Amino acid sequence: MTQLAVDNVTKEYPTRDRPLSVLRGCSLALAAGQNAAILGPSGSGKSTLLYIIGTLDSPTAGRVTLDGVDPFGLGEKELAAFRNRRLGFVFQDHHLLPQCSVLENVLVPTLADPPAAKASGDANAAADRARDLLKRVGLGDRMDHRPAEISGGERQRVAIARALIHKPALLLADEPTGNLDRTTATQIGDLLLELQRDEGTMLLVVTHSLELAARFERRFELDDGHLKTT
């Protein structure tokens, strides 16, 4: 069953002379539990496409649906809840809050959305899930550290745990291993794929690494605004 459908998405950015056409009709479909990598040269629109799928940017034309829901048809509050509960994001930079502990950082999405925390039981259930995720990413003994007190690879593990706290239907990652050395990048790639399988979430990763992309079920390449299967 198709869970994520991207249909003929275009994106134009207005510029002084004429609109800059970045995406010229991109389509892709992911079934529940599938993973895919998006490759393409710098400036080809990979982040733009991922941000549109993640509702952080809107398409000029075309449609994105997750489980049949078009997020761009939702009101502001509903859209924020949809983004928080149904999607998980991992960026090249971890974006952790420096003043919060590792455990608190993983819990941040549950604070932003109290009704979701209530629905999933209570604050204790959220904390249990956060601890469980941190153990699974290998940080069971780093929960009280601040982000400055752990390594770059460990910070990215925290970001992955945070992205999964609400059991998202779709996990999106934009060059998640871009700032890491090769060995650490391989470990983070392994971890993303392992958690994606265990959690049954869909995973869409933008990467420049052919090595990482080779380990995904499906690969797409953005070229001149078009998305091709490779």
Ligand X SMILES: Nc1ncnc2c1ncn2[C@@H]1O[C@H](COP(=O)(O)OP(=O)(O)OP(=O)(O)O)[C@@H](O)[C@H]1O
Shortest distance (Å) from residue 34 CB to ligand X:
22
Q: Which amino acid is at 187?
A: Q
- Cβ(206)–Cβ(47) under 8 Å? yes
Cβ proximity to ligand X, 50 vs 102, nearer residue:
50
Segment interacting with Mg ion, rule: CB under 5 A, options 46-54, 62-70, 137-145, 184-192? 46-54
For Mg ion, the closer of residues 46 and 85 by Cβ is 46
- Considering only 19, 43, 140, 200, the residue that binds ligand X (CB under 6 A) is 43
Min CB(174)–ligand X separation in Å: 7
Which segment (45-53, 109-117, 182-190, 193-201) binds Mg ion by CB under 5 A?
45-53
Note whether 211 and 39 are within 8 A (CB): no
User: In the bound complex, what is the minimum distance in angstroms from residue 1's beta carbon to ligand X?
Assistant: 29
The pair of structure tokens assigned to 147 is 């982000």
Rule CB under 6 A: say whether 45 interacts with ligand X.
yes
Q: How many CB atoms lie within 10 A of CB 148?
A: 9
Q: Which is nearer to Mg ion, 63 or 208 (CB)?
A: 208
Residue 46 touches ligand X, criterion: CB under 6 A: yes
By the rule CB under 5 A, 156 interacts with Mg ion: no
Binding status of residue 105 toward ligand X by CB under 6 A: no
Question: Among 3, 35, 47, 209, which residue interacts with ligand X (rule: CB under 6 A)?
Answer: 47
Q: Largest alpha-carbon pair distance within the chain? A: 55
Nearer to ligand X, 40 or 168 (CB): 40
The one among 34, 44, 47, 177 contacting Mg ion by CB under 5 A: 47
Pick the piece of the chain touching ligand X (CB under 6 A) from 29-37, 43-51, 137-145, 150-158: 43-51
Q: Binding to ligand X by residue 42, rule CB under 6 A?
A: yes
CA distances from 121 to 84, 107, 126 (A): 17, 14, 8
Q: Note the residues at the interface with Mg ion (CB under 5 A).
A: 47
Q: Note the residues at the interface with ligand X (CB under 6 A).
A: 13, 20, 22, 40, 42-48
